[in-house]
Every structure is written in structure tokens, then in C-alpha cells.
Amino acid sequence: VCDATCTWSGQLPTRIHKNPIYSCKVFLGGVPWDVTESALKQTFLHYGNIQVEWPGKENSANPPRGYVYILFEFERQVQIIPWVISDSNYVRCPSYQLDPAKTVFVGALHGMLSAEGLANIMNDLFGGVVYSGIDTDKHKYPIGSGRVTFNNVQSYRKAVRAAFIEIKTPKFTKKVQVDPYLADSLCQLCGMQQGPYFCRDENCFKYFCRSCWQLTHPMDVHGGHKPIMRNSKLRTQTTLSRVI
């Protein structure tokens, strides 16, 4: 586990919405470990039919207990720790053209953190934030990651160097991970092949194809350089084209 290199402490902005539209998906915490799907459906029957989504069920025969997601049929039924869809994007400078080369990927976000809150935190720490977005699933519910775009390279590099940030608020404390946002790119060494590998070390900070990575990163010399891949099984990066 890596330690946070910087910490943000403060109060998140109060969210005031006019006629908000909620995601049909909500997070339900504090669930008894032995609760059953039928019991949950019976409990929420008053609000309409629901679907129960067990986190990690697709990867394990024994899904984790203590929390679940429930899906309502209609937005008007949502009344439990909801997510307002408009909280997914926040633009500080509407006229600025978003640049993937000045964008970072932020992982392990707390579910209560809105795009505006994330923008304020990153701007306080590094400056130059023009946009932030929270990644969502098909139900428009947060998946725990987001993107932040800066208007200058210095702020972007400072955020990448930080790597881990601790966020402290009156309601939660959370450590988040910051990585370069990866886009489709040719290898920046040979310029011939696709470059799926990215080295975040400041001496490299380039995209590499497999051959060029092996050529420039022999284990005995660059053992500390770890490649970041856009399609890593450990995490994914949502395309920025949605908001450009």
C-alpha cells in the first residue's frame, strides 16, 4: 500500500439542485451479512420492483456482504443515498478545449464525491483545473473513478507526481490514486506501432510499443519503471471523447 504524498482537508461544496434527475441505482450500506435477496426485495416492495446487484458477484461464488446496490424501475422511486446525474460533470472553463495530454485519471473515489468537489480538491492542490468528470455505469451511477483536466502542463505533471492523495472531509477520509489519463497513441520512440505501454517516470513519460519497452527498460536498469496500460484488468480508463 502506497502512502499519500499530499493531503486535502476541507468541506465539500454543498450541492443544491433544481428538479434533479437521479440515477435508478443506489448504494445501500450497513446491510446485515446474512441478508437475502428476497428479504431486500420484500423490504423495498413499498417503493416498487427492484433488482439487487451484489458487488463482485461475477468474480466470486460468495459475493461480499455488508453492502449492495439496488436498482429501481423509475427515477421517482429513488430516495436512499441517491446520485444526482448532473453531479457527474463539472466545467470550470466552458471555452477551454479539453486536452487528453493534460488529463489525469483518478481512482478509488468515495461515492459521496461529486465532480465539482473533485475539481475543487484538485484545483486547491495543483491549480489550473478546467474540468472534472465522474465515471458512471449504464445506470449513470458512479463506479469509483474520474478524470480531471488541467489548462497547463505544470499542474498536470504535479498531479501525476503526487500519485496518491488523501482527502479528509467531515464525513469521510479517503486515499485516491492519480495516474496519467491514457489515450490511443503510437509508440513515441519508433512511431510505427501502437503504444499500449506508458511509463510515468519523469525521465520517460512516453508511450511505448512492446518491443521498444523491452529495449528501453531492461530489468537491471529500469526495474523501478512500471508500465501503465489503458486496458489493464485492474482498472479501466473511460474515454474523454464523451465530453470533448
Q: Are 116 and 87 in contact (CB under 8 A)?
A: yes
Cell numbers linked to 114: 461529486
- CA–CA dist 128, 222 (Å, integer): 32
Separation CA 106–CA 146 (nearest Å): 5
Q: Give the three cell numbers for residue 41.
A: 426485495
Q: Which strand (E) or helix (H) includes residue 212?
A: helix 210-216
Cα separation values, 80 from 33, 60, 171, Å: 19, 27, 17
Among the listed residues 30, 29, 4, 9, the one whose alpha carbon sits nearest the alpha carbon of residue 173 = 9
Q: How far is CA 199 from the centre of its chain?
A: 20
**What residues have CB less than 8 Å from 38, skipping those under 6 apart?**
none
What pLDDT, on a 0 to 100 scale, did the predictor assign at position 238? Answer: 47
> What was the pLDDT predicted at 80?
55
Q: What is the pLDDT of residue 226?
A: 84
Domains of the chain: 6-16+85-181 (3.30.70.330), 25-77 (3.30.70.330), 184-231 (4.10.640.40)
pLDDT, one tens digit per residue, over 119-168 is: 999 999 999 999 999 999 998 989 999 999 999 999 999 999 999 999 99
Contact status, residue 145 vs residue 106, Cβ threshold 8 Å: yes
- Edge-to-edge strands, sheet with 103-107: 6-9, 164-168, 173-180, 103-107, 142-150, 129-136, 89-91
Which parts of the chain sit beneath pLDDT 70?
Answer: 1, 56-65, 74-81, 220-223, 231-244
The x, y and z cell numbers of residue 38, run together, are 428476497
Query: 150 near 156, Cβ under 8 Å?
Result: yes
pLDDT at 190: 96
Helix/strand/coil for 54: coil
- What is the reported pTM? 0.71
- Residue 167 is which amino acid? I
Report pLDDT for 231.
Answer: 55
Q: What is the pLDDT of residue 58?
A: 55
Cβ atoms of 94 and 151 closer than 8 Å: no
175's grid cell: 486515499
Determine how many CB atoms are found less than 10 A away from the CB of residue 213: 22
pLDDT for 32 equals: 75
* Burial class (CB within 10 angstroms; exposed 0-12, middle 13-18, buried 19+) of 55: middle
pLDDT (0 to 100) of residue 212: 95
Angle at which helix 115-126 crosses helix 153-162, to 10 degrees, equals 100
